[in-house]
Structure 1
Amino acid sequence: MEAQAKENVDGTSGTQQPDTGPTLAPTTTNPEIELAMMAYLDDHPAAIRRLQEHQLQHAQTVGRPGVPTINIQMLPFGGGKPYPPALLNADDYVVGFDGHHDPIHAQNWSRGKKVGITAILVLDSLAATLASSIFSPGSVDVETYFEVGPEVTTLAISVFILGYAFGPLAFGPLSELFGRRLPTLVGSCGFGIFNVAVAVSKDYQTLVICRFFAGVFGSCPLALVAAVLADMFNNQSRGIAVAIISATILCGPLVGPMIGGFIAKSYLGWRWTAYVPAFMAFTSCVLAIIFQDESHAPRISMYKGSELRRQTRNWGIHAKQEEVELSVKELMTKNLSRPLQLLLEEPVILVITVCTSFIYGITYLSLSAFATIFGQTHHFSRGVAGLPCLGMIVGVFLELFAVICTNRNYVRQLRANNDVPIPEWRMPLAMLGSVCFATDIYWAAN
């Protein structure tokens, strides 16, 4: 039955509003369809985990499903027409994927397509991390050109890393609302534009401000690349994909001093240390426009619902994502408070965060120290002074090789556990890496 809603709008009794329909749609559906879906989910536990992950993303990142409410003054339907009757069962109009092997789902794309999109993300991530250190070898020329001291020059490097901290707070929620593709394009384009602004800056204040915003937009691939890989790869192959991206992110700051040193001492000058990452970002942006499709499952469902509405002329068809009520306050509160909440309430996350922060700090400290040790003490040229970073790059690729070699054992454990991953399975390799890191630092210091 359809509920009739009446509301006294203008303060006088007897004013009747049109039918607003039930406030909550029934949750029951056709029994035969329901039994078939339950049987399918029992046979495919990965499918139900996908649904649970998408629901969790909606609840924790975007907002709650909207519930129709009666406003103080409802808008007229228009044309003197009454409101149409509400849908008897809204769940019957919600689109979804056609089984576990639906070809439009990102995890069912061809291997070539996945590899191509991953390569685009690698280029984008490399440009973002390369820009963090490629600027430092030309800092001496920047001091001379803008007539500032070395302490002030380091500010241009620091604010770029500071931008890394602010960018994910915006790009993370945007990727849940608008999918992965649009924020990736915005991040690549914005990163390229602000690097060009750095290259053509006429005063030091402009350079510092543009470096900060370049860091904000450059953090986009670093914040979204794991989500895109999780969209495309299953538990068995995701580890290798994440390892490749992680190696790229680590190699970016290491190759920066080498490239920046040779550029700065050449006829190109320090400004080209900003042009090079900009051109890389624009290239990845163009490639993403041409080859990168949307991988976010709820967004794909929205595209499917939109296409079905045009084909069937049934405007009640929609995706579950379109029922989400966007609350800007809730969006900002959750995404600003959740990282701190996880940091304080989850000891594992706290330990990993402290360890990773320490490693990154030592890495950038080493990059600064190498320029002094090998440049001033050993009298290496600016380009050659960055070559000792090759040893760190070799270490990164050795770790990548170790991940690839141990992934077969991980897949074996995964299959034995009904495709349910256990985080501790990755711990032995991380423990070995921690011991090697401490040993190498002690060795280098002596």
Structure 2
Amino acid sequence: MDAQGHSHTDKPEREATLLRPDQAHIEDEKDKDIHGGSSHTKIGTIDSYSDASDVERDAGISRFPTQQDHLGSDLQPNPTELERIQTQKSQHSQTVGCITLKSRASTKPLPALGANKPYPPQLLNQEAYVTEFDGPNDPLHAQNWPFMDKLIIATMLGFTTFTASLGSAIFSTTIPHLQAEFHVGSVVATLGTSLYVLGFSTGPILWAPYSELKGRRSPLVIASLGFAIFNLAVAVAKDVQTVMICRFFGGFFGACPLTCVAAVFSDMFNNRSRGNAITIFAMAVFCGPLFAPFIGGFIVKSKLGWRWTEYITAILGFVCFALNVVFLRETYAPQILVEKAATLRRATKNWAIHAKQDEIEIDFRELLEKNFSRPLRMLVTERIVLLITIYMSFIYGILYLFLTAYPLVFQRVHGMNPGVGGLPYFGLIFGQLLAGLVIFLRQPAYERKLAANNNVNIPEWRLPDVIAGGISFAAGMFWFGWTGYRADIHWIVPTLSGLLLGFGLLAIFLPLFNYLIDSYLMGSLPLLILPSERIG
């Protein structure tokens, strides 16, 4: 009997030694992960007409306490309950519109229905009109989509993330030309990169709660269009003020893929395949800034001029917008049920049909208290989150420091031009590709451990790779600093240090990213914005 009152007498003794006390009740057939595929929120209220399955929630999915914990129920999930659990994830008390409706109740009398009509009676069984998934194998659920559909969406969103991260660093190659055209100092010119990163840190405050309230597709489509427009505005700017303002908003909209794409992958992939999907995302995040100096260096050196670095970024942004509009499908399960309810209402003319997500009412105070402040509250109350955030912020910050250090070493010390001076970044890129390959090769071993543990995920299994990455990263930094300051040392020597640096960057960032998702699955989306907030 565990702390929640669950009986495990029917479990083999071997499994009992492997499973955590708060996870041992999850059975092997639940590995479909239909109830834990994304950073959904949890049930916050229990209506009088709800049955017991409406309040059941897997404790193994999240470290947050649930109402099930407080009720002390010993109900076990079964396949028919999984879709109900998934349906009501957005109803947790940490989500807007769940338990404080009374505080927003209007004191004004209700308006008349009109034409002397009396108010209709309350529906006897409102739950009968709530849309749900048709079992754990419902093809509407993102985890049940064909693999090719998932691959197309993952590739497309990887390209969107790459474009956003490319825009953050490509501007650094234009700084000398910006100084000459607008007659500003290097500090002011460099502000364009700083403001973009500041937009990266402030944007998730909007995009994270928006994606949990309205789904993933809407913010990604809106943000890709806004990103393209503001980069285009930088390209045609007539003064430095316009450049700086538009750079900030370009970063603000560009932050959306960094915030939401990991959640989309978590929606589509279960514990077995999520690691590989997040690897694609992490490589897109890191490779974008490393390709940028190479691409931007040759552009500013050519007859095109510095403005074409922004034109090309804007063009890529419009391509992402077109791809997202045409091919991106909604992956967030509660929003899928909202769309299903809308389809049924139109087809049946029964306007009582709705999804649980439709019951949410948005209030600014609740947004501020529950969604906007949640990352900071978790940063204060969860020590492991604080430590991981500091470390990941340091690593991501070092990545941007290399954008300044590499030109000093390879252009000033070794006399390379801006275009050729961007080639040494490929050492970092190849190092990241090597780390990604190692992670892919280790995935079967992870799946075997998962199967041996009754398909219950242990977040700490992700951490050994971080140890190897930390050693590699520290060694690479020492190598680069030791060999990069003298012209008599061949340029290939500091370039090769990028293999260790790139390997360490991804081997640190990716497992910690997965650790946060595995540990705080339902609240992981706000957590994923903390590193960028600390950088900003």
Who is 1:361 aligned against?
A: 397
Who is 1:19 aligned against?
A: none
1:127-138 mapped onto 2 (5 Å cutoff): 127-138=163-174
Paired letter, 2:119: Y
**How big is each residue's C-alpha offset from its partner over 1:254-307, in whole Å with a ceiling of 9 and x where there is no partner?**
110000000000011100111111111110110111111111111110111111
Contact 1:229 1:238 (8 Å CA) reproduced = yes
Q: Secondary structure at the match of 1:317?
A: coil
2:78 maps to 1:42: yes
2:152 maps to 1:152: no
Paired letter, 1:357: S
Cα deviation, residue 419, structure 1: 2.3
Cα deviation, residue 335, structure 1: 2.6
Who is 2:211 aligned against?
A: 175
Percent identity among equivalent residues? 45
Match of 1:111 among 138, 147, 157: 147
Contact 1:135 1:157 (8 Å CA) reproduced = yes
CA–CA separation in structure 2 for the residues paired with 1:429 and 1:356: 14
Who is 2:359 aligned against?
A: 323
Paired letter, 1:98: D
Who is 1:61 aligned against?
A: 95
Q: 1:70 to 1:362 in 2, by over 3 A?
A: closer
Q: 1:47 to 1:73 in 2, by over 3 A?
A: closer
Q: Secondary structure at the match of 1:60?
A: coil
CA–CA separation in structure 1 for the residues paired with 2:409 and 2:85: 52
CA–CA separation in structure 2 for the residues paired with 1:54 and 1:333: 16
Farther-moved stretch of structure 1 (366-375 vs 259-268): 366-375
Cα deviation, residue 141, structure 1: 0.8
Contact 1:181 1:292 (8 Å CA) reproduced = yes
Match of 2:108 among 58, 69, 72: 72
Q: Secondary structure at the match of 2:361?
A: strand
Q: 1:407 to 1:46 in 2, by over 3 A?
A: farther
Paired letter, 2:115: G
Farther-moved stretch of structure 1 (203-212 vs 75-84): 75-84
Who is 1:91 aligned against?
A: 127
**How big is each residue's C-alpha offset from its partner over 1:224-263, in whole Å with a ceiling of 9 and x where there is no partner?**
0111111111111111000111011000001100000000
Cα deviation, residue 185, structure 1: 0.6
1:156-167 mapped onto 2 (5 Å cutoff): 156-167=192-203
2:457 maps to 1:395: no
Who is 2:50 aligned against?
A: 27
Who is 1:122 aligned against?
A: 158
Contact 2:235 2:307 (8 Å CA) reproduced = yes
2:214 maps to 1:191: no
Aligned-pair Cα RMSD in Å:
2.2
2:304 maps to 1:268: yes
1:276-425 mapped onto 2 (5 Å cutoff): 276-425=312-461
Q: Secondary structure at the match of 2:193?
A: helix
Contact 2:87 2:334 (8 Å CA) reproduced = no
**How big is each residue's C-alpha offset from its partner over 1:315-353, in whole Å with a ceiling of 9 and x where there is no partner?**
211111111122221112223321122112212111211
CA–CA separation in structure 1 for the residues paired with 2:200 and 2:95: 20
Q: Secondary structure at the match of 1:326?
A: coil
Larger Rg: 1
- Give the TM-score taking structure 1 as reference length: 0.89
Cα deviation, residue 379, structure 1: 0.9
Cα deviation, residue 63, structure 1: 2.9
The number of equivalent residue pairs is 415
Contact 2:86 2:333 (8 Å CA) reproduced = no
Cα deviation, residue 54, structure 1: 4.1
Q: Secondary structure at the match of 2:430?
A: helix
Who is 2:240 aligned against?
A: 204
CA–CA separation in structure 1 for the residues paired with 2:101 and 2:374: 25
CA–CA separation in structure 1 for the residues paired with 2:302 and 2:347: 60
Q: 1:287 to 1:172 in 2, by over 3 A?
A: same
